[in-house]
Amino acid sequence: MKKNQTNYLHRLHRLVGQLTGVEKLVTNNAAVADIIQQIEAVRGSLRGLEKELLSEKIKKIKDADLKQAHEYLLKL
């Protein structure tokens, strides 16, 4: 398993745990402020995962573009 994939899976497992926590809060009729706070934590975790995935994708695009430009320049 790749390092990035392992990291993504850890983040996803953390998100599942956070969502389970939100479910328990709702089930136990917790204060709305506590539920909202946990939902914000879930959103933050999702944003972090999204940024990491997009960053990796951008790096690959840049590397591919650079490789293509390099190959073009070598042909000149």
Give me the number of domains the chain comprises: 1
Q: What is the pLDDT of residue 66?
A: 78
Say what the pTM is: 0.73
Query: Which residues, 6+ apart, have CB-to-CB distance to 48 below 8 Å?
Result: 11
Per-residue pLDDT of the chain (76 residues; tens, 9 = 90+): 688 889 999 999 999 999 999 999 999 999 999 999 999 999 999 999 998 888 888 878 787 777 888 788 788 7
Q: What is the pLDDT of residue 21?
A: 97
Amino acid symbol at 38: Q
Question: Which CATH number goes with the domain that contains 15?
Answer: 1.20.58.1000
Domain that holds residue 9: 3-75
End-to-end Cα distance, the chain: 40
Q: Which of 12, 7, 10 is nearest to 46 (CA)?
A: 12
Measure the CA angle with vertex 49, ends 67 and 46; round to 5°.
Answer: 150
